[in-house]
Chains A and B, each alone.
Chain A
Amino acid sequence: MIDVVVLFFLFGLAAGLLRSELKLPGALYESLSLVLLLTIGLKGGEGLAQQALGPLVPQLGAVMLLGVAQTLIAFAILRGMGRLGRADAAATAAHYGSVSVATFAVGINWLMTRSIAFEPQMAIFLAVMEVPAIMVGIVLARGVGRQTDWRLLAHETFLGKGVTLLLGGMAIGWAAGPEGLAPIKGLFFDLFKGVLALFLLEMGLIVSRQAGELRRRGVFIVAFGVLMPLLSALLGLGCGMALGLSVGGLTLLATLAASASYIAVPAAMRLAVPEANPALSLGAVLGVTFPFNILAGIPLYHWLALQLAGVAP
């Protein structure tokens, strides 16, 4: 059974591939992503208000290390097997070490549709996993040199739109608690699936534009775009087992690990590693990995989580 929101993605993809005139206004795309980020933040904050925050600190350290490890592994594969240049390999690796909010949102939706619970701290994991890969990617490309304007980059990444909205939403959700959030529940929680559906329609259109790039790059990028998330998901599952997450939490951490950034990282890499070809990274991330994760990856990661947790499906 395929989730209805994924059908919207396929619709957008088909319309784009057929070169339909369909185009969503840029402001709508921005608004939808704003609502998605705030909703994920609010939900996480609401859950966190009901538990102690102290035990989370080592967990955050663990998922940040996970992001670093993924970036290094991806870099080694791209350099070694893909024979990419240093800049291209480092920039693409950073995309794969970081996370995608859209993939995470589809994962949450998949679990909610099946009434599978997950830990509220997943939203913080999403926020903290975005950044380490960017730093590692820049160091891999540049070394720790003077040419990199770290202050500007830190500002871009930590105060970028995504992290700001996630953390802001979390703070509001945490401060307001379930009762405080009740008046705005209609917009943020009840409309979540509708917003996600429209967002994925636009994602389908964006992904369809990567088709040309994939034809040019061929087999290696497609293979990397599928195998890297699988490898990352296994790392994520291992990390989640070590943290003692539930099946829902394991599924989401695997999804986060498997996902690859297509907003924060491309923007940061454009500034810090300009000689890397953005079309190459985005072709792999958007053309292969994002569709793979939302169509096949998430159900697979859930199945693997069930096996690991020792629960019969």
Chain B
Amino acid sequence: MTLSTEKRTLLTVITEAAIEQTLLRDLDRLGVRGYTVSDARGRGSRGVRDAAWEEAANIRIEVICPREQAESALGHLQARYYADYAMVAFLQDIEILRPEKF
């Protein structure tokens, strides 16, 4: 059996929980149709972010969308947030079913 998959792009953003609300509003404005947010922990250039309390909490936002939209979102993140916030964001090509959803 062959599945008829289509290509989409997965945008993953790992950043400070403090900016969750502003970030999600930005994504809405960029026309993103859905996203998944989860709590995250880790370590990077800004030290250990172990989510032991609110100030050190991280989130991971995942968005599946067309390539152009993902690129414009990534560009927006870079311009608006990279300088001042702990943030890692990247794109991956993925295959999905139900293309009308994404």
Contacts and interface: CB of A to CB of B under 8 A. Distances in A.
Interface residues of A, number: 21
Contact of B54 (A149, A209, A263): A263
Residue picked from A202, A270, A279, most chain B C-beta under 10 Å: A270
Contacts of A149: 22
Given A274-B84, A274-B85, A275-B84, A282 B55 contact: yes
Contacts of B22: 149, 152, 271
A205 B18 contact: no
A206 interface: yes
A214 to B, nearest CB: 14
Interface string B9-47: 000000010110110000000000000000000000001
Interface in B45-64: 47, 51-55, 57
Contacts of B3: none
A271 B52 CA distance: 20
B1 interface: no
B83 interface: yes
B69 to A, nearest CB: 24
B11 to A, nearest CB: 21
Given A275-B83, A275-B84, A270 B52 contact: no
Contacts of B18: 266-267, 270-271
B47 to A, nearest CB: 8
Nearest to B48: A209
A202 B55 CA distance: 14
A26 interface: yes
A29 interface: yes
A271 B55 CA distance: 12
Given A152-B22, A275-B83, A275-B84, A270 B16 contact: yes
B51 A26 contact: yes
A23 interface: yes
Contacts of A299: none
B84 to A, nearest CB: 4
Contact of A26 (B21, B52, B85): B52
Contacts of B54: 263, 267
A29 B52 CA distance: 9
Interface in B76-96: 81, 83-85
A26 B16 CA distance: 16
A177 interface: no
Contacts of A29: 52-53
B53 A206 contact: yes
A228 B47 CA distance: 28
A278 interface: yes
B52 A205 contact: yes
Nearest to A268: B18
A308 B96 CA distance: 73
Interface in A238-265: 262-263
Contact of B19 (A26, A206, A271, A282): A271
B52 A23 contact: yes
B61 to A, nearest CB: 17
14 contacts: A26-B52, A26-B53, A26-B57, A152-B22, A206-B53, A263-B54, A263-B55, A266-B55, A267-B55, A270-B16, A270-B19, A274-B85, A275-B83, A279-B47
Given A209-B52, A274-B81, 20 more contacts: A23-B52, A24-B52, A26-B51, A26-B53, A26-B57, A29-B53, A152-B22, A206-B52, A262-B55, A263-B54, A266-B55, A267-B18, A267-B55, A270-B16, A270-B85, A274-B83, A275-B83, A275-B84, A278-B55, A279-B47
Interface of B: 16, 18-19, 21-22, 47, 51-55, 57, 81, 83-85
Q: Which 6 A-B pairs have the closest CB atoms?
A: A274-B84, A270-B18, A275-B84, A266-B55, A267-B18, A206-B53
